[in-house]
Amino acid sequence: MRSNLIKDGLERAPHRSLLKACGVTRKDMTKPFIAVVNSWTEIVPGHIHLRELSDAVKKGIRKSGGMPFEFSTIAVCDGLAIGHKGMKYSLPSRDVIANSIEIMIEAHALDGMVLIAACDEVVPGHLMAAGRLDIPTIVVTGGPMFPGNFQGDRVDIISVFEAVGKASGGEMREDELRELEECACPGAGSCAGMFSANTLACGTEALGLSLPGCATSHAASERKVHLAEMSGRQVVNLIKNDINARKIMTKKAFLNWIRVSLSIGGSTNDTLEVLAIAREAGIDIPLETFDELSRDTPHLCDMRPGGKYFMIDMENAGGVPAVMKQLQTLLNLNCLTVNGKRVVDNIFDVSVSNEDVIRPLANPVHKEGGIAILKGSLAPDGAVVKQIAVADVMLKVRGPARVFECEEDAYEAITSDKIKEGDVVVIRYEGPRGGPGMREMLAPTAAICGRGLSDSVALITDGRFSGGTRGPCIGHIVPEAAVGGPIAVVCEGDYISIDIPNRKLNLDISRDELETRIKKWQPRERDIKGCLSWYEQGCLDASHGAAMR
């Protein structure tokens, strides 16, 4: 065992003495030492219940003959960070989390770990650490929030963001908005639709690092507590059987993740996270893989934000195992999972209880998967769009650019009725380096939807979008403005052509004119301090997951 480095032999008497100060007995010294990595915090709704899950995990570890040691990581709530400078810190937090886990595991020579996380960049940070450390690992994702009820309709946090646009446009009374904000988020859990956090939870289960059923078991359910205890038991078996993380985190397993995500209409953030996590596991997955798989992976689940179903509907229909059952002819069925079984064994007896929620391959919501990768003169190295959340009338559009140097300026223009039907809103200098931090643009996209413009106004950016974004919103443009990409030289009134079916995104000026503008472009001078400076100097572009070099 790795932990023998700190507990075996005459020379480790001082180490054993320190461990005994923590309550470790002589008998405990013979057990595997297992980290319980908990991202509990009191300010993130998806994490406020994780102490209970951690207690269940530790109970399971002890019952199976292991010795648990709990420590914490940070956790950013993207919903609270969004719309202001705080969002710059979300993506960099991913690497801080991975680094902190690595430090604790390596400094204390722990034998395995159970990772407990729930929200947008927290789950990827934990998974990056799993790929990097390659020790026996199991993940307990915190689970979705139940939807709220507003005047007889089910609602979630995106309902509130979009209601702000309605209220500012006079389509909703302020007292109704206050009533909605009171009930939209009824308790613990990741926001109730197929937004980034729940997309990642489903991906983690599809990858094989969570027990079957973990992704959709809700935060405030007894089933979640049971799965947490079972995860604690199972990590001990992983150690006994020498099943390290990379035996599960194979390229074929990542391709399963991508196909599942495409079929459930997952967040565009998946492109960043999969590429960064795979990289830590020593696997190269090009951005184009998402597009290649999307062309023959049908969209099977009509989930929020683009659709009508919530995570509770997916849970009741059979969860991720049921999705994988429908997709089985497209999946790598021999991949190993943390319960010690292969994918084919996990889904053998699975049935789909509601084929309106999880459709069969022969009757998809859309013939193609959720994400498309666009390229062209405006995005030579790629851009990302959730194509299933775009109205048919907006799949091919051409319009004049309305150019903004930051999210706040664009939001002010949208809410002040300065954006008209047919406009293409361009938000630049919000990429990984330009932000720095690659902010999500939920506030302006929700404002566009709230003001009834989602079928007539497109938005493009070198930043990214919340998993709750819907409409013709194209992000992750590479190269970004901060490094002199074409988006940096778009002028007010230039025409931009978007052709999602043919994967094209073009700035409609001549090649000579584009080259002339780029030669004249000068980088902005800014005074960036602290961890944002660290991230700005070390991050890769969005087509490589915006990971640190």
Catalytic residues: 466
Which residue type sits at 390?
V
Q: CA 240 to CA 243: how far, in whole Å? A: 8
Output helix, strand, coil percentages for the chain, rounded to the nearest 5.
45, 15, 40
Q: CA 253 to CA 242: how far, in whole Å? A: 19
Question: Which of 137, 142, 80 lies closest to 105, judged by CA?
Answer: 137
The correct answer on CATH 3.50.30.80 for the domain covering 371-544 is: yes
Task: Give Rg (Cα) of the chain.
Answer: 23
The answer to whether domain 31-146+187-347 and domain 371-544 are alike in fold is no
Q: What are phi and psi of 184, to 5 degrees?
A: -70, -30
Q: Is 291 annotated as a binding residue?
A: no
Residue by residue, pLDDT tens for the chain (549 residues) are 999 999 999 999 999 999 999 999 999 999 999 999 999 999 999 999 999 999 999 999 999 999 999 999 999 999 999 989 999 999 999 999 999 999 999 999 999 999 999 999 999 999 999 999 999 999 999 999 999 999 999 999 999 999 998 998 899 999 999 999 999 999 999 999 999 999 999 999 999 999 999 999 999 999 999 999 999 999 999 999 999 999 999 999 999 999 999 999 999 999 999 999 999 999 999 999 999 999 999 999 999 999 999 999 999 999 999 999 999 999 999 999 999 999 999 999 999 999 999 999 999 999 999 999 999 999 999 999 999 999 999 999 999 999 999 999 999 999 999 999 999 999 999 999 999 999 999 889 999 998 999 999 999 999 999 998 999 999 999 999 999 999 999 999 999 999 999 999 999 999 999 999 999 999 998 999 999 999 999 999 999 999 998
* Count of all residues that appear for the chain in the document: 549
What is the number of helices (H) and of strands (E) in the chain? Answer: 21, 14
Q: CA 464 to CA 461: how far, in whole Å? A: 7
Q: What is the DSSP string of 312-329?
A: HHHHHHTHHHHHHHHTGG
pLDDT digits (tens, 9 = 90+) for 475-490: 999 999 999 999 999 9
Q: What is the pLDDT of residue 169?
A: 86
Q: What is the pLDDT of residue 527?
A: 92
Q: Calculate ∠ Cα 17-20-22, nearest 5°.
A: 125
Q: What is the DSSP string of 509-528?
A: S-HHHHHHHHHH--PPP---
Q: What is the pLDDT of residue 3?
A: 98
List, edge to edge, every strand of the sheet that includes 33-38.
67-72, 33-38, 112-117, 137-141
Question: Quick check: 287 and 351 in contact, CB under 8 A?
Answer: no
Bridge partners, residue 41, by sequence: none
Q: Is 78 annotated as a binding residue?
A: yes
The class of domain 31-146+187-347 in CATH terms is: alpha beta
Q: Is 417 annotated as a binding residue?
A: no
Q: What are phi and psi of 504, to 5 degrees?
A: -120, 140
- Domain positions in the chain are 31-146+187-347, 149-186, 371-544
Q: What residues contact residue 548 under an 8 Å CB cut-off, 6+ apart?
A: 95, 535, 538, 539, 540
Q: CA 192 to CA 185: how far, in whole Å? A: 8
Q: CA 444 to CA 437: how far, in whole Å? A: 17
Using the 8-state DSSP alphabet, how is residue 482 labeled?
A: G
Extract the tokens encoding 503: 């994967």
Extract the tokens encoding 508: 């409609």
Which residue type sits at 541?
D
3-state SS assignment for residue 369: coil
